[in-house]
């Protein structure tokens, strides 16, 4: 039967990695080079070091609770139903905002292709309409079974490998240690100012915990999926950033599209090669979007199973493919609303980081409750430190940028209280 179907350890690692690595790195890597100079690869390592206690906590919880729901299950089991609901709702807000940002980047990039943008514009299809259409398409796709999800994710992973492979080949021919020394615009302040943007690129490091029950032999392999994918993500980010600085210094030009012209000149091969790379990068954005969209539906499903959200009897219903169709529809509606209301990229990044960090903090506190000791304390400290960097950036944007976040937060509280009062 379909409900007994599982995905392999390798597929789970690729899915989790594919959810995380995407638009935030492809778009943000040149800015990190500009801010941190030769220390740009170190920014990724510093952020990863701060996240490591949290990743270890997630892996230990995945071993202890190999079931659907992830963050909700962990906090609910150790702190109680309200705190489990609160952590899951915060995480849902954060990851939905992050997904909105990714989808917007894809739609903007698609419109940049004159052969697509001009015809769409001529028939009145705006970027927002395109974004809504994409949400509806991926909602339909998410209604299918876990095997289709696995196959589509593997396809997106293949696309994502192309630009990184070109970057690695370019590094063999173009990497110059002297470029690293010339990229000297580095201070501790510039390093830390890059942390919020880097943190956004790590959102979803624990995403597979929401569907850990779908992984073959979940108790023995689920925690390994989180640890292995995190190690792969950190290595890819740091090494790719090193290649970028070593080849192009602090240039804000797209490094993935600068390799072939540097190696081949303005030949037809370089032009067509860059078209392939651009297309691969653009469509790889959708891999992360689809992955997070799918697993987020299971977070809502977990809240509904524990009767922690208004309308719980509806949101926990499964279709014949054993996917939570009603939770998918609820997430679709909320995501469309967020796309309409939050048109600012800074707003979506702030909402994404804030929601996820608060959920991480609650998970770390839950671990302190479950296993008092150094790891839980380190997790609380790490989430607090990362939160400090984020609040400093939000202060620069202006606190009004977080208003939609708090509106959605209050809506979530109302939904919980309505359930309690009924």
Residues 6+ away with beta carbon under 8 Å from 211: 68, 146, 294, 295, 298
Q: How many helices (H) and strands (E) does the chain have?
A: 19, 0
DSSP 8-state code for residue 255: G
The model carries a pTM of 0.85
What residues make up the domain containing 235? 2-421
Low-confidence residues of the chain: pLDDT under 50: 1-3, 420-422
Please provide residue 7's backbone torsions phi and psi, each rounded to the nearest 5 degrees: -110, 155
Alpha-carbon span 261 to 253, nearest angstrom: 12
CB atoms within 10 A of CB 396: 11
240-253 burial by CB neighbour count: b if 16+ within 10 A, else e?
Answer: bbbbbbbbbbbbee
pLDDT value at residue 183: 60
Residue 360 and residue 53 in contact, taking contact as beta carbons nearer than 8 Å: no
| DSSP per-residue codes, 159-181 | HHHHHHHHHHHHHHHH--HHHHH
Q: Measured between alpha carbons, how far is 272 from 269 in angstroms, rounded to an integer? A: 5
Q: At what angle do helices 325-341 and 127-142 cross, to 10 degrees?
A: 170
pLDDT for the residue numbered 164? 94
What are the tokens at 244?
């970028």
Residue 115 neighbours by CB distance under 10 Å:
6
d(CA 344, CA 104): 10
Distances (CA, A) of 336 to 49, 83, 137, 199, 401: 35, 27, 12, 24, 19
Rounded Cα–Cα distance for residues 81 and 176 (Å) = 55
Contacts of 83 (CB under 8 A, 6+ apart): 75, 76, 362, 366
Q: Angle 194-255-287 (CA atoms, 0-180°, nearest 5)? A: 80
CATH, residue 361: 1.20.1740.10
Neighbours of 172 (CB within 10 A): 9
Identify the pLDDT of residue 188: 55
How far is residue 278 from each of residues 53, 98, 143, measured CA to CA in Å? 36, 21, 29
| Angle subtended at Cα 291 by Cα 290 and Cα 293, rounded to the nearest 5 degrees | 65
Dist. CA 199–CA 54, nearest whole Å: 13
How many separate domains does the chain show?
1
């Amino acid at each position: 039967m379909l409900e007994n179907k599982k995905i392999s350890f390798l597929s789970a690692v690729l899915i989790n990695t594919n959810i995380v690595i995407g638009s935030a790195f492809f778009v943000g890597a040149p800015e990190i080079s500009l801010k941190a100079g030769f220390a740009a690869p170190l920014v990724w390592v510093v952020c990863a070091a701060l996240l490591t206690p949290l990743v270890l906590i997630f892996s230990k919880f995945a071993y202890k609770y190999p079931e659907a729901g992830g963050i909700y299950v962990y906090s609910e089991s150790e702190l109680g139903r309200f705190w489990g609901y609160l952590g899951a709702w915060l995480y849902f807000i954060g990851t939905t905002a992050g997904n909105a940002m990714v989808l917007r980047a894809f739609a903007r990039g698609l419109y940049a292709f004159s052969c697509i943008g001009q015809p769409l514009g001529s028939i009145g299809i705006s970027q927002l309409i395109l974004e809504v259409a994409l949400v509806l398409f991926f909602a339909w796709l998410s209604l299918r079974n876990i095997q289709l999800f696995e196959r589509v994710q593997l396809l997106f992973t293949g696309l994502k490998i192309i630009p990184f492979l070109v970057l690695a080949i370019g590094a063999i021919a173009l990497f110059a240690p002297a470029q690293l020394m010339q990229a000297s615009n580095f201070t501790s302040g510039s390093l830390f100012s890059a942390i919020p943007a880097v943190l956004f690129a790590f959102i979803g490091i624990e995403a597979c915990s929401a569907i850990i029950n779908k992984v073959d032999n979940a108790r023995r392999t689920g925690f390994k999926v989180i640890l292995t994918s995190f190690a792969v993500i950190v290595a890819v980010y740091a090494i790719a950033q090193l290649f970028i600085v070593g080849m192009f210094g602090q240039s804000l030009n797209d490094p993935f599209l600068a390799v072939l012209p540097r190696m081949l000149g303005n030949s037809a091969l370089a032009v067509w090669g860059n078209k392939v790379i651009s297309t691969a990068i653009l469509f790889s954005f959708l891999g992360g979007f689809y992955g997070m969209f799918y697993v987020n539906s299971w977070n809502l499903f977990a809240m509904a199973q524990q009767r922690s959200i208004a309308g719980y009897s509806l949101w926990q219903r499964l279709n014949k493919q054993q996917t939570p169709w009603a939770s998918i529809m609820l997430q679709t509606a909320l995501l469309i609303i967020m796309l309409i209301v939050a048109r600012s990229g800074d707003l979506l990044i702030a909402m994404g980081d804030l929601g996820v960090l608060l959920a991480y903090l609650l998970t770390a506190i839950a671990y302190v409750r479950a296993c008092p000791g150094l790891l839980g304390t380190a997790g609380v400290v790490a989430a607090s430190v990362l939160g400090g960097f984020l609040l400093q950036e939000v202060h620069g944007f202006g606190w009004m940028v977080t208003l939609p976040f708090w509106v959605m937060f209050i809506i979530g509280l109302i939904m919980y209280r309505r359930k309690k009062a009924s």
